[in-house]
Amino acid sequence: IAGRRRLNQVQMPTIIIKVDLDCARCHRKIERVLDRIREKGEFVIDDIEYDEKNNKVIVKGPFDADKLSDKLCCKAC
C-alpha cells in the first residue's frame, strides 16, 4: 500500500552480566547497585532478571548499553 510506512520494532538494549549469584554478598551488591541506578533515574531500566542457575543478570531497557556497563563497572567494584 503506497504511502504507508512500515513501523520497525526497535529492539531494546540488553546487558548480560556474569555475577556469582550463589554468593549472597555479590547478589546483594549487584541488586543494590541496579536499584540505585534505577531510583536515581540515571538510566531507564525496564526489566532486571536474575538467572541464578547460570549466574547471569539480564538488564533490559531503552538505555545506552555502553554507558550503563561502564557505570556498573565503576559502582560494583
Residues of the chain by 3-state class (helix, strand, coil), percent to 5: 35, 20, 45
CATH 3.30.70 fits 14-64, yes or no: yes
pLDDT tens, residue by residue, 12-59:
789 999 999 999 999 999 999 999 999 999 899 999 999 999 999 999
Q: Is the pLDDT of residue 2 over 70?
A: no
pLDDT for position 62: 92
Q: For the chain, give every domain's residue range.
A: 14-64
Q: Residue 1 — pLDDT band, cuts 50, 70, 90?
A: very low
Identity at 28, one-letter amino acid code: R
pLDDT for position 12: 77
CB contact at 8 A, 44 and 61: yes
C-alpha cell at 56: 547471569
SS3 37: helix
Q: How far apart are CA 8 and CA 56, in angstroms?
A: 29
pLDDT for position 7: 47
